[in-house]
Structure 1
Amino acid sequence: MKDIVETLQAGAGKQFINLSAGNPLILPEVEQLWRDCTTELLASSEYGEVVCRYGSSQGYAYLIETIASDFNRRYGLDLNNNNILITPGSQSLYFCAANAFGGLTTNGGIKQIVLPLSPDYTGYGGICLFQDALVAYKPTLDVEEEAHTFKYRPDFSQLSITERTGCIIFSRPSNPTGNILTDNEVGKITALASPYNIPVLIDSAYAPPFPALNYTDMKPVFGDNVIHCMSLSKVGLPGERIGIAIGSSRLIQVLESFQTNLCIHSSRYGQAIAANAISSGALANISEQFIRPFYQKKFTMLEDSLNSAMPKNLPWFLHRGEGAIFAWLWFKDLPITDYQLYQQLKKVGLIVVPGSTFFPGLREEWQHKQQCLRISLTGSNEEIAKGMKLLAAVVQTVYQLSS
């Protein structure tokens, strides 16, 4: 990402199509929601208490109560306030969990942080103070040759969960691939962890009920050893750093204690306006009516552009678009590395993200790691269509030169 920023800054007037961003677009309806919630907070007698005073490390009480009520009604749960923790973004939540449940133990051993399906979110690569503790597993691939599509699946014949495992983390829907693990796959992972009381953190930053960036049917999974992890970044509050953890009180208490020492608590202003948006039902409605359709149409646009521009005789494969705000492309037998392809695309004015950065913890050699690209859906329709034409032309040249 540093190279991308430097490229854009040093462009000297050159126009780039930037399809690298993970920053959500500012949708008018979403911005207006947060303006309305801010106006409501400013007019409230709670304003001073929210902004001018410290609060509980667990989070703003009204937000916690609102989440418990909403999820109990929506999913038939029996949550109380002790089952919920508000964190300063979900990244800090994974840092707390990785080092509270995994990493160095009191007897000098190492508890592993397991990523059961690689590739996955690149940010997991920096959450553990002891890098040797992070272990990822290679997936199996379901490939549809004629359709030029594929899907990653966990390889349960290889996945190892033992007493040496501290916690398990995966994103659902996935950043970077848009993959959604099935209920059955999630159930198998939690069942493997259960005998050892291992926490399973499900990164639901793109999941329903908000931002609801799932394009196929899915429901959040809960359980005694599951920590359901959410973020409000993709519903228009990335600057406020609001993460949410939902789980058993024994696991939430551990994370709260860690957080108290780390940062006291998350932004109270962000928590307060989020509470208003959730309690009114507006946040879930905005997610379903505006955020999801907007990005789903972007994926369809990208898919159609690729099918139109990419030569049918080349071994390119688009991961099934099941959710999130990215597309993931695999170029089988790519004659150059993903980073070299990224550099060539920059020369024609297209910026994407090399895929090899999304395999944290996967130590074994695997050519596939250098054959993928992540493409953001945050560009305009025109940028996406033109970008896929540029991509197709460069990739075709790369394969032709190798033969």
Structure 2
Amino acid sequence: MELANRVSSLTPSTTLEITAKAKALKDAGHDVIGLGAGEPDFNTPQHIIEAAVKAMNEGQTKYTPSGGLVALKDAIIEKFKKDQNLTYAGNEIIVCVGAKHALYTLFQVILNQGDEVIIPTPYWVSYPEFVKLAEGTPVLVEGKEANDFKITPEQFKAAITPKTKAVVINSPSNPTGMIYTAEELKALGEIALEHNILIVSDEIYEKLVYGDNVHVSIATLSPELKKQTIIINGVSKSHSMTGWRIGYAAGDSTIIKAMTNLASHSTSNPTSISQYAAIAAYTGPQEPVHEMKKAFEERLNKIYEQLMEIPGFQCVKPQGAFYLFPNASEAARLAGYDDVDSLVKALLDEEKVAIIPGSGFGAPENVRLSYATSLDLLEKAVARIKRFMENKIK
């Protein structure tokens, strides 16, 4: 049977080949170190697990409202007030099956065929695919490495056409770990307001910010920008709850209502037990969040310095999230490879280190290394990469 065009237009994930090969090598008994993880290596905090068990024991295992439990929406509302001094009503929030589902559903309800969405590169791999699945057109704008991978107002303005419907801002960014400042966001926001472009602000890594850097939501900069912005967030990264699948969107009530109606016909509702766990995540102690952030920052500071000693690797130091995104084009050249993807494959074959090629993020000269694993494994991996390069350029 012939498949639908919307499926055949999807771009296969470039990470799958590396991930599958790493697993196969590991299953065959090889000592493979994988640095591709997009999730914290810490377990979900115990008080959250206990809240889920309590909910199950009390029979909270039935359908919930499609847009999420009122109690969870209330916890999210309080979180916005406390963290960002933003005020939302219950009808301005939808709880989804992860932040990914929130983004997918959002593009389904705002895009018509041919509508354009501006997506800065490097980008998280699913943004363009969500847009294509909604019959929209992704418009990729290069965030240059010299500008910390961030797009400028001039670039944003030049990419706008009469078909532009939305722009995606991911700060802190996956894969780069970079953060837009308040001034940068204000400049982009003014252009979005001028052209009536919806701002999709993906803030899933907001709690993982290091040093003197701060996370700023564009919605906090003015009432007009708040009205023009849909915030996407969730508990996956902040509370190490990736498998629980709880994310949410906050913003214009008309858009949120449309998303809720669509969700009622697709997922029915987010998992009831996970919602009670998410309530505990936001209303319970936050010490585990701070401890996890501290551990990530310590790893970053140690591994960054070691990575910079490897021939051919150049890296802008990340400000948040848990990824390093070095430029490896010179390393590929020095090692005798035509491109970075070939370098990545050889590194896995010869040194059993799995990293993700930047081509999957719209940045073919770079690679993504996750430091969401133990410091011991990180140091071993970097030592192997260094040995690989030194052997190649002897």
TM-score after normalising by structure 2: 0.85
Shift of 1:297: 1.2
* Match of residue 71, structure 1, among 71, 80, 83: 80
Compared with structure 1, are the counterparts of its residues 348 and 276 closer, same or farther at alpha carbon in structure 2 (3 Å cutoff)? closer
Q: Is 2:199 the counterpart of 1:200?
A: yes
Q: Match of 1:326, as an amino acid? A: Y
SS at match of 1:329: coil
Compared with structure 1, are the counterparts of its residues 188 and 255 closer, same or farther at alpha carbon in structure 2 (3 Å cutoff)? farther
Q: Match of 1:184, as an amino acid? A: E
The whole-number CA distance in structure 1 between the counterparts of 2:375 and 2:83 is 34
Q: Match of 1:324, as an amino acid? A: A
Shift of 1:63: 0.5
Shift of 1:188: 2.2
Q: Is 2:167 the counterpart of 1:168?
A: yes
The whole-number CA distance in structure 1 between the counterparts of 2:79 and 2:353 is 42
Q: Is 2:345 the counterpart of 1:329?
A: no
Shift of 1:304: 2.3
- Indicate the RMSD between aligned Cα atoms, in angstroms: 2.2
* Match of residue 138, structure 2, among 115, 134, 138: 134
Q: Is 2:48 the counterpart of 1:34?
A: yes
Do 2:235 and 2:281's aligned partners in 1 also have CA atoms closer than 8 Å?
no
The whole-number CA distance in structure 1 between the counterparts of 2:121 and 2:320 is 17
The whole-number CA distance in structure 2 between the counterparts of 1:133 and 1:198 is 15
Partner of 1:342: 344
Shift of 1:111: 0.7
Shift of 1:87: 0.7
* Match of residue 236, structure 2, among 210, 233, 237: 233
Partner of 2:9: none
Compared with structure 1, are the counterparts of its residues 74 and 91 closer, same or farther at alpha carbon in structure 2 (3 Å cutoff)? closer
Partner of 2:380: 386
The whole-number CA distance in structure 1 between the counterparts of 2:112 and 2:317 is 34
Cα shift readout 1:133-165 (whole Å, capped 9, x = no counterpart): 01110123337xxxxxxx222133232234311
Shift of 1:350: 0.8
Partner of 1:213: 208
Partner of 1:154: 151
The whole-number CA distance in structure 1 between the counterparts of 2:264 and 2:197 is 22
Partner of 1:247: 251
Cα shift readout 1:85-139 (whole Å, capped 9, x = no counterpart): 10111111111222222241xxxxx111211x21010121321326760111012
Q: Match of 2:253, as an amino acid? A: S
Q: Is 2:30 the counterpart of 1:14?
A: yes
Partner of 2:306: 305
Partner of 1:191: 190
Q: Match of 1:20, as an amino acid? A: G
Shift of 1:244: 1.2
Do 1:204 and 1:228's aligned partners in 2 also have CA atoms closer than 8 Å?
yes
Q: Is 2:261 the counterpart of 1:257?
A: yes
Shift of 1:261: 2.5
Cα shift readout 1:159-202 (whole Å, capped 9, x = no counterpart): 22343112222321111110111122222222222234322111
Partner of 1:92: 101
Partner of 2:355: 352
Do 2:109 and 2:258's aligned partners in 1 also have CA atoms closer than 8 Å?
yes
Q: Match of 2:298, as an amino acid? A: K
Q: Is 2:276 the counterpart of 1:272?
A: yes
Q: Match of 1:247, as an amino acid? A: G
Do 1:57 and 1:265's aligned partners in 2 also have CA atoms closer than 8 Å?
yes
* Match of residue 119, structure 1, among 115, 122, 126: 122
Compared with structure 1, are the counterparts of its residues 375 and 255 closer, same or farther at alpha carbon in structure 2 (3 Å cutoff)? same
SS at match of 1:330: coil
The whole-number CA distance in structure 2 between the counterparts of 1:276 and 1:202 is 25
Partner of 1:370: 364
The whole-number CA distance in structure 1 between the counterparts of 2:262 and 2:125 is 23
Compared with structure 1, are the counterparts of its residues 5 and 118 closer, same or farther at alpha carbon in structure 2 (3 Å cutoff)? closer
SS at match of 1:86: strand
Compared with structure 1, are the counterparts of its residues 23 and 96 closer, same or farther at alpha carbon in structure 2 (3 Å cutoff)? same
May I ask how many residue pairs the two structures share in their alignment?
360
Shift of 1:396: 4.5
Q: Match of 2:316, as an amino acid? A: H
SS at match of 1:245: strand
Name the % identity.
Answer: 20
Partner of 1:178: 177
- Specify every segment of 5 or more residues in structure 1 that has no aligned partner in the other structure, as ranges: 105-109, 144-150, 360-368
SS at match of 1:233: coil
